[in-house]
Structure 1
Amino acid sequence: MINSTQGLFFTLEAYFDTGLLKYLYFVILMFLYMLIICANLLLIVVICVNRSLHEPMYMFLCSLFVNELYGSTGLFPLLLLQILSDIHTVSASACFLQIYCVHTYGGVEYLNLAVMSYDRYLAICYPLQYNTRMTSTKIIMLITVSWLQPFFACVVMIFMTSSLQLCGNIINKVYCDTHSVVKLACDDTKVNNIFGLIATFGTIFGALILIIYTYVNIFKVCFSGSKQTRQKAVSTCTPHLASLLNFSVGASFEILQSRFDMSGVPNMLRIFLSLYFFTCPPLFNPLMYGLNLSKIRVTCKNLIANILRQS
């Protein structure tokens, strides 16, 4: 059983000595982090300053991009410090803060995608009633719920995890996550595991049921509707489905690594798969929506052109 002094720190064991290559990895990851910040921040600014984009779909997109910034910031600063460090330790408070950011990022992302599917469902299946059904009050309520539910669930999870008596302090990952800390416990962790599974699958399946329901109805309308209806559905639903698939792949990698023994997988591949969750969706989503949605694409071009003219 570790004492209180040792318990103040965790060791992230997945890092390995790369010699001078660590500076190359640092530059690559720093570039990715700056790219994520710039891409998501650009689209947030574009949506906020352009009144023609103050529509439900773009408000939900803005919420999605804010979450991308939040999630990547919960990972990259500590990751970059650890790459340059020779001793891969992290304080308990910093570890639990990162756990909170990591888990809330995943929950908010999935619920945001579910809310966006519901918005597309109303727009395609009830076009004449869309403005009366998707009111400003409902937009605020949906965004608020998609953020608050994971935040409250994670507060309970952090409280339960931090109260455990630990028998070790070595985490076999490049960042902190709840299940890795729970596995270090001397106590019976049945309650923690049950709550973690309920919170994770409750969020996933709740969102998944809404997504499946909305897309079943969207496809019904597409197959029975006009060519114009099908074109509208394809143009607005393709980016969303691509984002959903991309995030689900990353989340699946993360869940598999957390719940199953991956010691047979090469260390470098395990690190890549664990970072996919935090790098690919934040990079992919701004690119996908920026290129596919004409209003955002045109506004971005005009904004960049104005900045270049002024400089």
Structure 2
Amino acid sequence: MSNESLGLTPYVSLGTFVIPLGGKYPIFSAGVLIYAFCIFCNVTLMAVIVLRRNLHKPVYFILLSLPLNDLMGITAMLPKFLSGVLSETNRIPYSLCVLQAFLLHMYGGGILFILAAMSFDRYVAICMPLRYSAVMTPRTVVCIVALVWALDFVLITLLFSLQSRLPRCRSVITNVFCDNPSLLKLMCGNTSINNIVGLFNTAIMQAVSVSVQAFSYVKILIACMVSRRTHAKKKAVNTCVAQLVILIIFEIVGTFTILSHRFQKVSGDLQKIMGVLIFLISPLLNPLVYGLYTSEIRNTLLRFVRNRVFV
């Protein structure tokens, strides 16, 4: 049946928060400041890596994908959310809803694959230091980055392409943003294949990311325990702790979000807040974590600021 025969419009309605009286403008202002701060931090990190020659190394070329992915995620979610708060409307064109969901799922998969690629680079650098230049050649780095984005794109495209075979018979989404599970609830017919593919994609992403990182960090830990060089141990900690912090934060927020939907006593607003935090915490903390824990980036940025401000 067509959308017209079902009485559907090209718009869908999203869920909303219960905003207290007089809270609209403070929430909007805070959101704009958060978005601006996130853009500034991630663009600064990208600019430092691109412009400073001492950072033109394989690990930082792979790292370049992380702020790019963060900008994609927060831009896909926050501006639409803030415009809804300001205009007090929760309607969104269905096509834009699908695009938002696609980009948000790309963002989630991107974090896992990028961190896996970075952990492999650290494994080669710390466990095979003499072969690092031979293994992590520019060609290899380009292939790794291309594989990260291609694998993420193929899996998410496969997931969303299955929706085109199902007719839409509903127009109300309970979540405050669009994602694949919410879109499936709008469809008529059997969605079992979609659910199976969704679970398969999630399993593949988690299995690839966790296995690569577990292998890399176990090897690094063993290398640190065997090595008697204090400098080598310190280098291992400085280069790996940032990636571990980012992974742990992402997994904790994601787990709490999933669990919040499994308990009936959890309020709807808390579930929505946890969902939004997935797309806010990583883009906000990632550049700060790397700026604090990666001494080479921190020192390069400080030298750049001193030269620009005090000269």
Per the normalisation by structure 1, the TM-score is 0.93
Q: Which residue of 1 aligns with 2:24?
A: 22
Q: Which residue of 1 aligns with 2:294?
A: 293
What percentage of aligned pairs have identical amino acids?
33
181-190 or 135-144, which moves further after superposition?
181-190
Q: Secondary structure at the match of 1:100?
A: helix
Number of equivalenced pairs: 308
Q: Secondary structure at the match of 1:212?
A: helix
Shift of 1:85: 2.2
Superposition pairs of residues 1-311 of structure 1, within 5 angstroms: 3-4=3-4, 6-226=8-228, 227-256=230-259, 260-261=261-262, 263-308=264-309
Q: Which amino acid aligns with 2:3?
A: N
Q: Secondary structure at the match of 1:129?
A: helix
User: Distance in 2 between the 1:32 and 1:251 partners?
Assistant: 20
Describe the shift of the 1:293–1:133 C-alpha distance in structure 2 as closer, same or farther (beyond 3 A): same
Describe the shift of the 1:7–1:156 C-alpha distance in structure 2 as closer, same or farther (beyond 3 A): farther
User: Distance in 2 between the 1:98 and 1:262 partners?
Assistant: 27
Query: 2:18, 2:269 within 8 Å by CA — same for their partners in 1?
Result: no
Describe the superposition over 1:106-145 as per-residue Cα deviations: whole angstroms up to 9, x where unpaired: 1111100000110110011001111101111110011111
Query: 1:26, 1:83 within 8 Å by CA — same for their partners in 2?
Result: yes
Query: 2:112, 2:209 within 8 Å by CA — same for their partners in 1?
Result: yes
User: Distance in 2 between the 1:208 and 1:2 partners?
Assistant: 43
Describe the shift of the 1:255–1:143 C-alpha distance in structure 2 as closer, same or farther (beyond 3 A): farther
Describe the superposition over 1:194-229 as per-residue Cα deviations: whole angstroms up to 9, x where unpaired: 111111111111111111111111111111112222
Q: Which amino acid aligns with 1:175?
A: F
Shift of 1:152: 1.9
Q: Which amino acid aligns with 1:157?
A: L
13-22 or 291-300, which moves further after superposition?
13-22
Describe the superposition over 1:259-290 as per-residue Cα deviations: whole angstroms up to 9, x where unpaired: x4455312332222111111111111111111
Query: 1:2, 1:167 within 8 Å by CA — same for their partners in 2?
Result: no
Describe the shift of the 1:62–1:278 C-alpha distance in structure 2 as closer, same or farther (beyond 3 A): same
Shift of 1:17: 4.3
User: Distance in 2 between the 1:248 and 1:91 partners?
Assistant: 31
Give ranges in structure 1 of 5+ residues lacking alignment.
none
Describe the superposition over 1:213-265 as per-residue Cα deviations: whole angstroms up to 9, x where unpaired: 111111111111122221111111111110111111233244446xx445531
Q: Which amino acid aligns with 1:249?
A: I
Q: Secondary structure at the match of 1:90?
A: strand
Q: Which amino acid aligns with 1:246?
A: I
